[in-house]
Amino acid sequence: MPWNTLDDVALAGKVVLVRVDINVPMDAGRVTDMTRIDKIKPTVEDIIAKGGRVVLLAHFDRPKGKVVPEMSLRHLVVPLEASLGREVVFGAECVGPVAEAAIAAAGAADVVLLENTRFQPGEEKNDPALAAAMAALGDVYVNDAFSAAHRAHASTEGLARVLPSAAGRLMAAELRALEAALGNPERPVVAVVGGAKVSTKIELLANLVTKVDHLVIGGGMANTFLVAEGVEVGRSLAEREMAEMAREIHRKAQKAGCSIHLPVDIVVAREFKAGAASQVIDVADCPPDAMILDAGPKTVAALEAVFAACKTLIWNGPLGAFEIEPFNAATNAAAQAAARLTREGRLISVAGGGDTVAALNAAGVAEDFTFISTAGGAFLEWMEGKDLPGVAALMH
Ligand code: 3PG
Ligand code: MG
């Protein structure tokens, strides 16, 4: 691999600065999803087992270079202690004497957590002076924050340039999974891309059609592609001004030998609310006063056949308005089909980005997928074919 792992750098007796992404959702002071916190445990444990001292660097939310008390990482000390089963010593600044004192006060088996890196004006500017001040605290840099790797910040990029560096266990697992899904996948490959808008995913679609054999388009995005083909979609969410762009993606796909799959039947309703009266109809028959809110069963059956013919699947975004019933049916059924093929050893399935994980959790299949990324924006940028600065800085 073109980057170091925890097995390639000397950690015994070293102070290891570990960039993690514990930007977790919180509600009224409580963490509502512990996933990102739980996922750093293998890295923390391995560093301590190898005799290193763990100092965590992380951001929380977007304080924009100022101290915003509600965005203090202090609120995560107790959840971290619960997840890691170790004492967490908090340093109320991420550089300078306060940080040094926290590191000095911690025992070898404790974990140090330093304050929100984004409280520093130099963090988002990737200021070399801030990277140098962070580097002065330790001996080795470990980046375990794949989900923040699309940011070229002092703690995600600059630090890797000034200290011996390595990818943490989670970072390495994310990179391996993504390589297996798009870098050098077993073919055929199918990508499922859903969500509301084509306009936010043009680069992603344009990149995918050159890399995958089948592209399934779902959600509101599919309506825009239908409009581009002259199909009437009534009052459905669609970006009519993106129709030419959709046709361009179609042409690009054709040239690259990628088949695009759109809904052949649809679930329509007159109102967008849970339990609204709905009908399954042919895609050509959408009434002018109806909205398309999900794909129909024939579409799902066709997708299952595509999945069964493929060896690798990469999934981003729901197929319908999955957050309200019954318009989660296609997403659930397709996700269950992917999960079953994965369990049978016939499919490598990788998913990530924004709503996707919530949709797969709701479908009860997250455990069955080969890999679910912790990343939102970073997963999308990676699907767009962009270099992630936090990953690039680890390469040698
Ligand atoms: C995320 O939550 O996606 C990451 O922590 C990155 O956060 P950001 O979008 O504020 O850079
Ligand atoms: Mg974000």
Judged by its nearest atom, the ligand closest to the C-alpha of residue 379 is 1
Model confidence over 95-129: pLDDT tens digits?
A: 999 999 999 999 999 999 999 999 999 999 999 99
394: nearest Cα among 135, 164, 151, 133 = 164
pLDDT at res. 303 = 98
For residue 148 and ligand 1, the question of a CB distance below 6 A is answered with yes
pLDDT at res. 354 = 77
For residue 377 and ligand 1, the question of a CB distance below 6 A is answered with yes
Pocket mutation for ligand 1, best pick of 19, 21, 144 (most atoms within 8 Å of C-beta): 21
Instruction: For residue 37, report the distance from its CA to the centre of ligand 1, in Å.
Output: 14
Model confidence over 7-48: pLDDT tens digits?
A: 999 999 999 999 999 999 999 999 998 999 999 999 999 999
146: nearest Cα among 299, 385, 375 = 375
pLDDT at res. 381 = 93
Identity of the residue numbered 105: A
Model confidence over 40-74: pLDDT tens digits?
A: 999 999 999 999 999 999 999 999 999 999 999 99
DSSP string, 2-37: -B--TTTS--TT-EEEEE------EETTEES--HHH
Model confidence over 217-252: pLDDT tens digits?
A: 999 999 999 999 999 999 999 999 999 999 999 999
Q: What is the average pLDDT across 166-179? A: 96
**Percentage of the chain modeled with pLDDT above 70:** 100
- Is the model's pLDDT at 301 over the cut of 90? yes
19 bridge partner residues: 57, 143
Token pair 């050509």 is at which residue?
A: 284
Report the alpha-carbon angle 393-317-26, nearest 5: 70
For residue 214 and ligand 1, the question of a CB distance below 6 A is answered with no
- Is the model's pLDDT at 357 over the cut of 90? no
pLDDT at res. 134 = 98
Model confidence over 335-356: pLDDT tens digits?
A: 999 999 999 999 999 999 878 8
pLDDT at res. 358 = 85
pLDDT at res. 352 = 94
* DSSP state for residue 238 in the 8-state scheme: -
- Is the model's pLDDT at 309 over the cut of 80? yes
* Total-model pTM: 0.93
Q: What is the average pLDDT across 318-325? A: 92
- Is the model's pLDDT at 394 over the cut of 80? yes
* Structure token pair of residue 290: 């109806």
Model confidence over 241-280: pLDDT tens digits?
A: 999 999 999 999 999 999 999 999 999 999 999 989 999 9
pLDDT at res. 13 = 98
- Is the model's pLDDT at 295 over the cut of 80? yes
pLDDT at res. 233 = 97
- Is the model's pLDDT at 155 over the cut of 90? yes
Atom 7 in ligand 1: residue holding the nearest Cα: 148
* Structure token pair of residue 314: 């990469």
In angstroms, the CA 91 to CA 39 distance is 22
- What average pLDDT does the chain have? 96
Atom 9 in ligand 1: residue holding the nearest Cα: 377
If phi over 0 gives left and psi between -120 and 50 gives alpha, with beta otherwise, what is residue 354?
left
